[in-house]
Amino acid sequence: MGPLLPSASSKLKVLQASALARRPAPRPARWPLFPYDTVVRVSLWISVAVVAALFGWGAWQRRWIADDGLIVLRTVRNLLAGNGPVFNMGERVEANTSTAWTFLLYAASWVGGPMRLEYVALAVALTLSVLGVALLMLGTGRLYAPSLRGRRAIMLPAGALVYIAVPPARDFATSGLESGLVLAYLGLLWWMMVCWSQPLRARPHGRAFIGALAFVAGFSVLVRPELALIGGLALIMMMIAARNWRRRALIVVAGGLLPVAYQIFRMGYYALLVPGTALAKDAAGDKWSQGMIYLSNFNRPYALWIPVVLLVPLGLVLMLARRRPSFLRPVLAPDYGRLAKAVQSPAAVVAFMVVSGLLQALYWIRQGGDFMHGRVLLAPLFCLLAPVAVIPVVIPDGKDYSRETGYWLAGAVSLLWLGVAGWSVWAANSPGMGDDATHVTYSGIVDERRFYAQATGHAHPVTAADYLDYPRMAAILTAIDNTPEGALLLPSGNYTQWDLVPMIRPGTAPGIPASQKPQHTVFFTNLGMVGMNVGLDVRVLDQIGLANPLAAHTERLKHGRIGHDKNLFPDWVIADGPWVKWYPGVPAYLDPQWVAQAEAALRCPATEAVLNSVRAPMTLHRFVSNVLHSFEFTRYRINRVPLFELIRCGLDVPDVPPAPPRE
């Protein structure tokens, strides 16, 4: 029995060793979703809650829906009616810049049920605006989190205070435009990019997160076309940091599938490479001098250089005082390329957001800005403020540097923050553009909210009915009711009436069949308030080309008002419809000869092809043809003077036809 004991003992040791070998290795320390100590976490969430509440309250106090916001809702009405994403039935024009905003409101209208579309747009815009600021702050809080582990610190809002203090930021939070969606998108992308630079564990993110981030980055072009500069840069960074070709393929598919699919749809449905608004405003053009005027107009009322002077040194102090966390070192594996390491890092993500903001600002300055005070520079400002949206004030503990140095740093950060907070209180109560807010001066820039509040007599013009108190609006409904046989409405010098061009009696002229039903068309700049106050059977056209395919293809005027620098003469509208083209049907201030020349110019083969691309019934053949000719159609331009257009097309100049005898 004695010799068996050692053998049993040896077997026991072997079994124990085998059990230990099968035991899974300890998992690396997690990098939690909100990786903060208690004081940091509590102070961050309090900051987010306070800023969100202040922003939401401030935006609500300035609530309104812009005329351009009502343009979007007209398209949503057509979607709900089954007419497709168009502004006028039977004419495929993309009158909205943000594809995502249009379809988001379409989806929200189903959820809202019987609620008015204006209130749906107001609620969605305000919610997304507040959400965007909250995501921006959470992303920045996460950016600083690694250097704050094990340290006592208080998170205070800084850049976020600057943004919500600027009055236009609160104006466009509820304007019915896509501004709120832009904030939510940028906030989400910032938060995800920071997470991407700080993996959840001591290894890279999984395929699900990478695919989601690539999808969000690629979605940028559907939020607004110029945001492709931001989303595209994010995708490039992800491609560089990807470890293998499978990841790169995932990034390409997730980031490009939806934008490419919609681009093909746009080319086939609208026969353009860009949104109709980009064509109408010649987004590829440049007006540097007007852009500098716009930048000055945005800066002057609020002295935006002051927070820049305060936040730049504040950011530098925080960068120099940061501590490199040891738990991120395992992520930077030896086989990870040096360039990839540099790209997938918090510093690179900060540079990405700052560069994106500068690129957006540069794009809009080159474009000439906008006619709405501050509107298009809000997104660049939002990006530039992201790295310091919140800041940590670290309580000295003597671990990383002496307590004396720590107190000096904390004091410097606190003083700079107090300066930012003081400026924010002052800017939030600024009168803005002052007396020029509602005057269309040579610069063409106005405070859009105050302009319409004054013009309508409503402090908060939200619904289309509120805009019936705008000059000429109520008279539209009266004119339509008084012309059951159909008419073209042209704005007159009298704000309470319209000039009417009667419809040619059906069956009495070529191209006007006896079965032609009465039609109404309104020719006016303010598409939104008109389009939302009339039925979908009423055609609404403008002279700048947002909803008018003919005007969109004219040349941009060199000294026109920014955003309104195309101007199609009403003669073309008369020529392009079933309207009387001779006196006395034509208003006295128009020349029937111009109308006749415009009618002849519309027979230019290239112009007919462009108009057929959006007016002919949509078939598979039409879709493919539009795709193949979309580049040509996007570049096509006509001369707005009918005689010059005839010369350009090589057509004969017609004589003025005599008026038919009266019956």
pLDDT digits (tens, 9 = 90+) for 135-180: 999 999 999 888 777 777 889 999 999 999 999 999 999 999 999 9
Q: Give the residue-averaged pLDDT of 544-570.
A: 89
Q: What phi and psi values does residue 498 have, to the nearest 5 degrees?
A: -125, 150
Asked if 530 and 570 sit in the same domain, the reply is: yes
Contact 450, 438 (CB under 8 A): yes
Asked if 429 and 475 sit in the same domain, the reply is: no
The three-state secondary structure class of 184 is helix
**pLDDT of 432:** 86
pLDDT tens digits, 91-122? 999 999 999 999 999 999 998 778 899 999 99
Q: Is residue 25 part of a domain?
A: no
Q: Is residue 428 part of a domain?
A: yes
Q: Is residue 45 part of a domain?
A: yes
Q: Looking at 396, 418, 436, which one is the last position of a domain?
A: 436
d(CA 216, CA 139): 15
DSSP state of 661: P
Asked if 176 and 275 sit in the same domain, the reply is: yes
How much is the pTM?
0.89
Domain of residue 97, residue span: 38-321+364-436
Q: Is residue 432 part of a domain?
A: yes
Of 3-7, 432-436, 657-661, which gets the smallest average pLDDT? 3-7
**pLDDT of 204:** 58
Q: Give the residue-averaged pLDDT of 194-222.
A: 85
Would you state the structure tokens that stand for residue 607, as one six-digit string? 């112009």
Asked if 522 and 402 sit in the same domain, the reply is: no
Structural domains counted in the chain: 2
pLDDT tens digits, 378-420? 999 999 999 999 999 887 765 665 566 667 777 888 899 999 9
**pLDDT of 438:** 86
Most distant CA atoms of the chain, gap in Å: 135
DSSP state of 372: B
Q: Looking at 436, 451, 480, which one is the last position of a domain?
A: 436
Of 167-171, 333-337, 361-365, 549-553, which gets the smallest average pLDDT? 333-337
Strands 153-157 and 520-523: unpaired
Asked if 88 and 199 sit in the same domain, the reply is: yes
Burial zone of 638 (CB within 10 Å; 0-12 exposed, 13-18 middle, 19+ buried): buried
Q: Looking at 385, 418, 436, which one is the last position of a domain?
A: 436
Of 231-240, 461-470, 487-496, which gets the smallest average pLDDT? 487-496
Residues β-bridged to residue 202: none
Asked if 545 and 422 sit in the same domain, the reply is: no
Asked if 214 and 264 sit in the same domain, the reply is: yes
Asked if 423 and 523 sit in the same domain, the reply is: no
Q: Is residue 654 part of a domain?
A: no
Asked if 217 and 270 sit in the same domain, the reply is: yes
Q: Is residue 398 part of a domain?
A: yes
The three-state secondary structure class of 491 is strand
Asked if 371 and 510 sit in the same domain, the reply is: no
Asked if 416 and 469 sit in the same domain, the reply is: no
CA pseudo-torsion sign 385, 386, 387, 391 = positive
pLDDT tens digits, 501-516? 999 988 777 777 777 8
391: alpha, beta or left? (left if phi > 0; alpha if psi -120 to 50): beta
H-type alpha helices, 497-585: 527-531, 549-552, 570-575
**pLDDT of 326:** 38
> Does residue 1 carry a pLDDT above 50?
no
d(CA 289, CA 645): 30
Q: Is residue 290 part of a domain?
A: yes
> Does residue 34 carry a pLDDT above 90?
no
Q: Give the residue-averaged pLDDT of 521-529.
A: 95
The three-state secondary structure class of 155 is strand
Would you state the structure tokens that stand for residue 592, as one six-digit string? 């029937």
Of 33-42, 391-400, 525-534, 646-655, which gets the smallest average pLDDT? 33-42
Of 274-288, 449-463, 620-634, which gets the smallest average pLDDT? 274-288
**pLDDT of 26:** 46
**pLDDT of 329:** 41
Asked if 138 and 232 sit in the same domain, the reply is: yes
H-type alpha helices, 220-369: 220-223, 228-241, 245-269, 276-280, 288-299, 305-321, 338-343, 346-367
DSSP state of 502: E
Contact 238, 213 (CB under 8 A): yes
Q: Give the residue-averaged pLDDT of 216-238.
A: 96
Q: What is the mean pLDDT of the chain?
A: 87
Q: Is residue 395 part of a domain?
A: yes
> Does residue 336 carry a pLDDT above 80?
no
Contact 423, 165 (CB under 8 A): yes
d(CA 614, CA 94): 10
pLDDT tens digits, 339-373? 888 899 999 999 999 999 999 999 999 989 999 99
Confidence of residue 582 (pLDDT cuts 50, 70, 90): confident
Confidence of residue 439 (pLDDT cuts 50, 70, 90): confident
**pLDDT of 315:** 84
